[in-house]
Amino acid sequence: MWAFERGAFRAAYAAVPYPERVRGDGDGWVLSDNGAAYWGKHGAAGLMLRAPGPDGSPAVLLQHRAPWSHQGGTWGLPGGARDSHETAEQAAVREAHEEAGLLADLLTVRTTVVTATATGSHWTYTTVIADAAELLHTVPNRESSELRWVAVDDVAGLPLHPGFAASWERLREVAATIPLLQAEL
């Protein structure tokens, strides 16, 4: 895993404003046929953001979920409920802005992968794979204990959110087929 000093990032990222309290029409639970609850009335989406690490190999931005949150204390992707008017891509980018202070114009969406479904309902969790040209500075909100860029080979060694853990190898395989965007020199 890599650690970076604040000075290693462009100053423009140092104070990215984002809303602390956001409530959309997608907030709420959906029940599957077997009674399992899933967050997001219109489904949910998360952003698997990749960027080249110091050695050029891919790193992924992970969120250490706040202890009070569902599956708190585990690592996963910034993400959350989709609102009725949003695509999965729009929801994932919005959630990454809310939870990590990331600006949409610094992200390039590469593909989407439906990584979970709820039987007997329309609910899906879609992981949006996106790239940034460099490791971006992040600004955690109250839903995060920590945000960290993690080398792809180190992700599975963390205590992962169960849903992310179940989809990680598939996501890793899909992402490996897409060349990582690199910063222009």
Sequence ranges of the domains in the chain: 25-176
pLDDT of residue 70: 74
pLDDT of residue 18: 38
Which single residue is written with the structure tokens 């590469």? 110
pLDDT of residue 184: 67
What is the distance between the alpha carbons of residues 179 and 185, in angstroms, rounded to a whole number?
Answer: 17
pLDDT of residue 100: 95
pLDDT of residue 44: 94
What is the distance between the alpha carbons of residues 18 and 13, in angstroms, rounded to a whole number?
Answer: 12
Contacts of 75 (CB under 8 A, 6+ apart): 62, 63, 64, 65, 150, 155, 158, 159, 160, 161, 164
- Please say whether the beta carbons of 59 and 175 come within 8 A: no
Superfamily of domain 25-176: Nucleoside Triphosphate Pyrophosphohydrolase (3.90.79.10)
* Residue 177 to residues 81, 131, 165, 172, Cα–Cα distance (Å): 28, 13, 20, 9
Average pLDDT for runs of 10 along the chain of length 185: 33 39 79 89 96 94 84 89 95 95 96 93 94 95 90 97 96 97 72
pLDDT of residue 24: 84
pTM reported for the whole predicted model: 0.85
pLDDT of residue 23: 67
- Please say whether the beta carbons of 63 and 11 come within 8 A: no
